[in-house]
Amino acid sequence: MSQTRKFFGTDGIRGTANLEPVTPETALRLAQALVDDWQRAHPAIPMSVVIGRDTRRSGPMLEAALVAGLTSAGADVILAGVVPTPAVAWLTRQLQADAGIVVSASHNPFADNGIKIFGADGFKLSDDRESALEVALRTALDVRPSGAGVGRLRSSGHPANRYVAALAKVAKGCALGGLSVVLDCANGAASEVGPKLFAKLGCKLTVLAAQPDGININAACGAVHPQRLQQAVRMHGANFGLALDGDADRAIFVDEHGEVVDGDAVLALLALDMASHGTLRGGAVVATVMSNLGLERALSTCQVPLIRTAVGDRYVVEAMRQRGCNLGGEQSGHLVFLDYATTGDGLLAGVLVARLLAQSERPLSELAAVMQPLPQTMINVRVQARQDLQTIAAVRDAMAQAEAGLDNRGRILVRYSGTEPLVRVMVEAERASDVDHWAQHIAAAIRSSIGA
């Protein structure tokens, strides 16, 4: 990563809270830089910014620093409190704010935190805009306002309730009262709004992991740990389960048998339904290089191509906007529906799946069966530092051996995580034995060379 990208990764700034780069000092300077950058283009208009956060203990600390930075530079701030990331994107547009900021580290452990920024249009900032902010935050604010020029804290009146009402409208006219749902809130940002939403929809609801204490976010729960949800769906005989991550922009489903239905399968079942009703725009679905080949095969049954992007929901959204597509997402559960939202939204995904179940009167297992995934595995290897993997002989050789061993009957993808000190090793092939063997082979080479 170049020097101009010291702070921003694939999804904003992220790391251990109170250590660089996720410190109050950096948050304050970033906030001032954001205002300074905006005012260069709008010198006579005060900026307004929406801030939301998840339930991490460090959230209020970083929120306070952002408020100090924004108001010291002359911007007005609207605090949304604990709300999902997509709620901040939605509120930024609804309140006609000039930017939205989320304090969250998504699915990461509670000790981490992060900052991601949305523009006035509700979309995440581009790489170029983030790079410009990085340059700006290294310099002091040139001119500090005083007196009436200092920014204010403003109230918007129960913003989370407005977001819930907007999501509920998506299912308007569809009877969901007969559905039994288990909702895992990951002890995160959706702990309050998630149960409110599904109660408003009339579903019979069982709620898990909705008692945040500042340190239990994502702890053995949520989208990354769906085991408890699987058990609960079987125990309660629910129609489906929905697991969110810490900031609720990700959704992993569990069918009525307690089997996981990942983002690829949800994209497939929704795409085929939308294509049959003529509502799939852009002539394609957008996903990342991580999506299973089974998704491509499922979409091909209705002549819908799959467009692949780099990993990160921001890149998915950029490609969707360029091609005019309205459906895209990631295998990990970031699902983007541009007809309704500007970023991945786990609760919105839940509403759309619930609506389809009610309308089709078919179980989720049957709907998800349109996609038959190839065996695929992912191994995360923690590393000491990032090095170009192609310059490490042992790793380069292991990857070449895997490519030769698969002999065009599968694929490998080895990349650094954009948010954690990890190398992610993905192998996909026709035979599960090949998948496990070659993934372990590459992971072992990485571990022995640069493993932490």
Enzyme catalytic residues: 106
Contacts of 238 (CB under 8 A, 6+ apart): 180, 181, 182, 206, 232, 256
Contacts of 350 (CB under 8 A, 6+ apart): 181, 183, 197, 198, 242, 251, 253
Whole-angstrom distance, CA of residue 117 vs CA of residue 125: 6
Q: What is the DSSP letter of 124?
A: B
- Element (DSSP H or E) covering residue 449: helix 432-450
Whole-angstrom distance, CA of residue 325 vs CA of residue 423: 31
Let me know: does 329 contact 313? Beta carbons within 8 Å: yes
Structure tokens at 122: 């509700």
CB crowding 319-333: b at 16 or more within 10 Å, else e:
bbeeeebbbbbbbbb
Residue 42 half-sphere exposure, CB side, CA atoms within 13 Å? 11
Q: Which residue has the tokens 């922009």?
A: 249
Contacts of 348 (CB under 8 A, 6+ apart): 86, 167, 170, 335, 337, 340, 341
| 101 residue type, one letter | I
Rg of the chain, C-alpha, whole Å = 22
Let me know: does 14 contact 49? Beta carbons within 8 Å: no
For residue 174, the SS3 value is coil
Whole-angstrom distance, CA of residue 220 vs CA of residue 211: 13
